[in-house]
Structure formats: C-alpha cells, structure tokens
Amino acid sequence: MTKKNANQRVEKRRTKKSSTRRKLRNASLQQKPQASELPNVERLIEPGGTATFFQEMKLAVDETERGHRKQLRQTVMAIYAGAMVMKRNQDSYDEFGLLPHWENKRQRPKADNQDRLLYFALRIVFPNDKASKYKTALQSYFDRDASPQEVLLKVRKRGFENMASAARKAKKAETDGGAKRRPQRVTFSFRSAKDAKRHFKKIKVIGFRIRNWTLRGSTISGTLRTRRKHTCNTQNASK
C-alpha cells in the first residue's frame, strides 16, 4: 500500500467519525423541548377561548396512542400552561367554571377554591386517577409560578411518575417531620353504656384520626394517629 493510499484511508475514517458525531449532536438538539411543543395558551383570555382550548386538549388525549409519552407529555404541559394563564386572568377562570363539563358536579371550579385550579384543569381532560397523579407531580411548580418550559425540561428528565412519587414523599416528611410516631391509645368515658354506644365511632379529635375503636360498657377507646403535624393534648372525656 502506498503512502498516498494510506493517507486517503485515514482521511476517510476521520470524515466518517465526524459525520457520525454530527448526526448524534443534531439528534440530541432535536430532542430538546422547543417553544413550538406548546400551543398558544394566551387565547384563553379571549371570549370562548377556554371552551375551545379544553376541547382541543380532550381530543388530543383521545387521539394519543397508548404509551406515546411525547404526545402525552405535551398535552399535560399544555394544560399546565393553560392553567397558568387562568391563574393570572380571573375572567378566563370564571368562564372555565361555567363550562358544561361541570354541570351537576359537586366538585367544580369556584371563587373559593382557586387553589385547586391545576387539578380542575387536568380533571376536565383526564380521569380522576391520572389527573391526581399529574397534579401531584406539578403542583409545587405551579404554586411558585414555574414556567411551562422549565417544568417541561424536568418532566422530560424524570417523568411524571417519579415526580409524583418525590412530591408525595416530601409531603409526608413535612407532615410528620420525617419521624414515625408511636400510636397513642386513648379512652373516653361516658355516664352510661347507652351514651357511649350513641357516640361510638363519632368522636373527633382535631389533628388526629381514631382507629381500632373499642366499646366496653360506658367507655370508648381507640388509637390516635396523626393526621398532620399537629399537637393536641387528649384527656378522658366525660359526658
């Protein structure tokens, strides 16, 4: 083999490697979320825009192939972006609460429950279990007004399932301080067995749930379990 041919082969290999690296770099750039992945949500401010937007989101979910994560991710984040608009614009939120979807529903958007806006926006498109999962994953970002593009990057990296799991663990740690408390057994005394029977399983202690009820004569006993981070001195009650 001549020196010229050897140089040509080396140059050809370099060109091939360079081409491969270029293709990989281009593919990586294409995977990064672009602004075009999210629809125009500002139209929710326009009259009738809320109904149209959520009809489109519902159709997008119906048309999404099972397991098509990219399309699902885009739809959920579009709803997140739409909820952000309604959070800033009271008129669009009011219109949202008047959509036919909420007729005869006990839980619906109202003036006094705007803190559940993200859940309602997801619920109008997804069944309750999925809406709750996505809401759990995104609520902390929604509360601090994180931009849809910022959250989309995190969703692409971690996924809704992992984000929801992390949010639940963080909430649990905040609730009980990260430490398990030993259940406390309490007893409530009444004047008669009849009174005790009448109040059986109806006693409430603020900040706690009562489990393992026991009725014995004129006394009722049970196990206190912490509902949230709350201290309460419980004494025997008499009536």
Q: What is the pLDDT of residues 164-208, one digit of tens each?
A: 999 999 888 877 654 455 567 778 888 888 877 777 777 777 767
Neighbours of 208 (CB within 10 A): 20
For residue 223, how far is the Cα from the chain centroid?
31
Q: Tokens 């429950």 belong to which residue?
A: 113
pLDDT in tens, the chain (239 residues): 565 565 666 566 666 556 655 655 555 545 444 545 677 788 788 888 888 888 888 877 776 644 577 888 889 999 999 999 999 998 999 999 999 999 988 889 988 888 999 999 999 999 999 999 999 999 999 999 999 999 999 999 999 999 999 999 988 887 765 445 556 777 888 888 887 777 777 777 776 777 777 777 788 877 777 765 544 444 444 44
Q: Which residues contact 234 (CB under 8 A, 6 or more apart)?
A: 184, 186, 205, 208, 224
What pLDDT, on a 0 to 100 scale, did the predictor assign at position 14?
Answer: 62
How many alpha carbons fall within 13 Å on the CB side of residue 75? 25
What pLDDT, on a 0 to 100 scale, did the predictor assign at position 97?
Answer: 92
What pLDDT, on a 0 to 100 scale, did the predictor assign at position 112?
Answer: 83
Cα 41-35-155 angle, rounded to 5 deg: 90
Cα 230-128-34 angle, rounded to 5 deg: 100
